[in-house]
Structure 1
Amino acid sequence: MLLLRHLVLASLLTLLTACASAPPAQQGPPRIPEQVSRADWEQDMQRFAALDAASPPPRHGVLFVGSSSIRLWETLAEDFPGVPVINRGFGGSELRDSTFYADRIVIPYAPRQIVLYAGENDLQMGRTPQQVVADFRTFVERVRRDLPRVRIAYISNKPSPLRAGLLEAQRRANALIKTEAGRLHVDYIDVFTPMLDANGQPRGELFVEDRLHMNRAGYALWRQKVAPYLVRH
């Protein structure tokens, strides 16, 4: 009986030790600390630097920044005539990447307005709506640390046929960001709702063959929704 008691106690001690040493569960991919280099887009950053050197962009312009939906918006100047637009989108990026590179592609331009589209890739990579809204808040706080008067507009997550499985997560993220945007005095631009059909599914006619990126009709819709929010003077 004494031997059995010792065996039970030993088993309990082993179990408690294992539980104490087990790492905590994480929600989504771990946040990358600011001091760690995000080398994924270094070529994009060097390309932007070369563009700036060859043709310095206007100061106090309207800066569009974010992921590939911004990068591929090649008609920005045509869509918003008379507005000094700057396109600094880099494909595949997440919201926190725009924060990480703010010292290189946001702050130096001293824009009068920032139009941000990011968050869709974040959800695709496993980040939660709560993490996305936290990253949105961090971006706004980082930018306003150096540019306290800059106006910021956030374009909502867009629905796409390829990522239809993300619709509910996008709805939740958009709702959280809309609330936080109001608290932070950031303009929230809803493109999610008008990009859905009568059945609540992404409108396929707004996309190119990859069913993820937009065609001219998609960007025409964005132009219509973004235009009223632009600071033109």
Structure 2
Amino acid sequence: MTDKRPLTSLNASPLAKLAVALAVFGLIVGSWMLVARYREANMVLPDAANRQGNCTLWFVGSSSVHRWTSLDRDMAPWIAHNRGINSATFADILPRFAHIDPVDGHPRAIILYAGENDIAAGVPVRTVIRQLAAFLDLRSQKFGDLPVLILSMKPSPSRAASLPDQRLFNAAVQHLIPHMPASFYADITSPLLKNGQLGDNYQPDGVHMNTQGYRIWADVVRHRLAQILPADTLRACT
């Protein structure tokens, strides 16, 4: 059944939030099992960027990242590395992230958009959150307190059936991050709405952003980076 609630109602119910809060601690404890499993991977995240430097950002995630073809321009003067994987789920991202050697590069921050494909495929929200916790654990093991900016799950016109689980995911992320070091949340959902409805920010497939949509993402990311990164980093890089 199609969800009839307004798109502006992006949070889960209080009861659902409570259930999520109680489950978060168990998810954190259990995430080490996923980390151990993914250490066996022998693939790495793609990276088409040919520039390195002290002001790099890694954009990690699914096709919504992979198809951000204007990323380099949208985030300049940052050196933005697009490390997205087309059609990826967390099961695709985690093994590759686990195999990264920090010696090969150390960004100033990681911007993550992942989980939408998992939920669209019927993966339970609790499993997606457990995988997100595993990603954050891997980050800590490899890079210490490197900031990770987690983008909210966007509503997609062609995935209206996923809206309830997307709302629950966004609420669960906000319960999780206070318990994970250097982890932050960015709301890319609200700016995509106009008078409570989705604006003209999507490609014809009803899932991926168009140029205007990605500009909105870039504005949100810039704003949040200005809030979470050290002042000397911002002076040096922007």
TM-score range for the pair, normalised by the shorter chain length: 0.7 to 0.9
Q: Does 1:157 align with 2:153?
A: yes
Q: Does 1:172 align with 2:168?
A: yes
Distance 1:196 1:167 in 2: 14
Distance 1:147 1:35 in 2: 15
What does residue 116 of structure 1 align with?
A: 112
Distance 2:223 2:101 in 1: 22
Letter in 2 for 1:191: I
Kept in 1: contact 2:51–2:79 (CA 8 A)? no
Instruction: Give the number of aligned pairs.
Output: 192
**Deviation digits for residues 42-76 of structure 1 (CA, Å, limit 9, x no counterpart):** 7x95x64xx57xx3633662110100111111112
What does residue 195 of structure 1 align with?
A: 192
TM-score by length of 1: 0.73
Distance 2:85 2:127 in 1: 21
Quick one: higher RCO (CA 8 Å, sep 6+), 1 or 2?
2
Task: Give the gaps of 5 or more residues in structure 1.
Answer: 1-30
Kindly name which structure, 1 or 2, has the bigger radius of gyration based on alpha carbons: 1
SS in 2 for 1:154: strand
CA distance 1:81–1:134, shift in 2 (3 Å): same
What does residue 89 of structure 1 align with?
A: 84
Distance 1:165 1:99 in 2: 26
CA RMSD between the two structures: 2.6
What does residue 14 of structure 2 align with?
A: none
Distance 2:153 2:107 in 1: 23
Q: Does 1:216 align with 2:220?
A: no
Letter in 2 for 1:154: I
Identity %: 28
What does residue 77 of structure 1 align with?
A: 72
Task: Give the gaps of 5 or more residues in structure 2.
Answer: 1-33
What does residue 98 of structure 1 align with?
A: 93
Query: Post-superposition shift, 1:205?
Result: 1.1
